[in-house]
């Protein structure tokens, strides 16, 4: 019998193995402005070595009939040259939310991934990629949730309305406390199981 994290593992790629482009990051870089073409260079590294050097160009109602993202360069030793169409959805209180149309499924997504050995970006579902957290044991998954909550807490904008900011902060703190309690319970279970197994081994010895 194995312990936490043991068992058969899938050969599917995970999101941790892939290059990832988030539309929220494109918006932060000012690449989704109307009637503009914007260019951004991005390099991915692994173990101190560059594994991808890509140029991202967005065209939002400029030359192309519909908004799109063109990705060119090299990644994982392959030449990359692909176009992903974009779609905007107006929000009730102003502004818009951007989506990419997955080239493999035709469905909306907010992130694009490129698994090693492939030549074009698509959604996580389009490539049937597993999330990295799916291969983690419950304790590691809990630590990841804590880190994510802490990062979101630090990223809360000071320009967000105070009541909303306080509600978000309270929810994130509650989530962090809940996850920490669950990790403590799991650790207690592990220690009890290990102690019981040690007692049985000594009794059989």
Question: Do 59 and 147 share a domain, yes or no?
Answer: no
Q: What is the pLDDT along the chain (205 residues), one digit of tens a residue?
A: 444 344 444 577 888 889 999 998 999 889 999 899 999 999 999 888 899 999 999 999 999 989 999 999 999 999 999 999 999 998 887 788 999 999 999 999 999 999 999 999 999 999 999 876 555 556 566 666 666 666 666 666 555 556 666 676 677 667 666 667 776 777 777 777 777 776 666 666 5
Tokens encoding 98: 């951007």
Question: Do 60 and 150 share a domain, yes or no?
Answer: no
Question: Do 110 and 46 share a domain, yes or no?
Answer: yes
CA distance 55 to 41: 5
Question: Do 88 and 52 share a domain, yes or no?
Answer: yes
Cβ neighbors of 31 (< 8 A, separation 6 or more) are: 38, 40, 56, 58
Judged by DSSP in three states, 75 sits in: strand
Cβ count within 10 A of residue 111: 16
Question: Do 110 and 141 share a domain, yes or no?
Answer: no
Instruction: Tell me, yes or no, whether 7 lies in a domain.
Output: no
Total domain count for the chain? 2
Instruction: Tell me, yes or no, whether 203 lies in a domain.
Output: no
Question: Do 192 and 145 share a domain, yes or no?
Answer: yes
Q: What angle do CA 77, 17, 99 make, to 5 degrees?
A: 95
> HSE on the CB side for 93, CA within 13 Å?
0
Bridge partners, 85 (sequence order): 68
Residues composing the chain: 205
Judged by DSSP in three states, 84 sits in: strand
- What is the per-residue pLDDT for 9? 47
Q: What angle do CA 124, 127, 129 make, to 5 degrees?
A: 60
Question: Do 106 and 56 share a domain, yes or no?
Answer: yes
Question: Do 110 and 148 share a domain, yes or no?
Answer: no
Instruction: Tell me, yes or no, whether 95 lies in a domain.
Output: yes
CA distance 74 to 116: 11
Question: Do 55 and 142 share a domain, yes or no?
Answer: no
Question: Do 166 and 107 share a domain, yes or no?
Answer: no
What residues make up the domain containing 164? 136-197
Question: Do 71 and 28 share a domain, yes or no?
Answer: yes
């Amino acid at each position: 019998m194995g312990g936490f994290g043991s068992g058969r593992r899938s050969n599917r790629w995970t999101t941790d193995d892939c290059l990832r482009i988030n539309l929220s990051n494109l918006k932060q870089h000012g690449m989704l402005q109307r009637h503009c073409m914007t260019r951004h260079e991005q390099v991915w590294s692994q173990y101190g070595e560059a594994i991808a050097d890509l140029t991202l160009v967005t065209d939002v109602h400029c030359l192309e009939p519909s908004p799109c993202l063109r990705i060119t360069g090299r990644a994982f030793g392959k030449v990359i040259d692909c176009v992903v169409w974009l779609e905007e959805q107006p929000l009730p209180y102003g502004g818009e939310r951007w989506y990419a149309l997955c080239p493999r499924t035709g469905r909306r997504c907010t992130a694009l991934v490129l698994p090693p050995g492939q030549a074009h970006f698509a959604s996580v579902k389009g490539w049937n990629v597993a999330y990295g957290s799916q291969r983690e044991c419950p304790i590691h998954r809990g630590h990841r949730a804590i880190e994510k909550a802490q990062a979101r807490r630090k990223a809360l904008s000071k320009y967000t309305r105070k009541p909303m900011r306080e509600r978000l902060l309270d929810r994130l703190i509650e989530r962090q406390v809940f996850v920490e309690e669950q990790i403590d319970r799991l650790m207690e279970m592990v220690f009890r199981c290990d102690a019981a197994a040690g007692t049985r081994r000594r009794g059989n010895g």
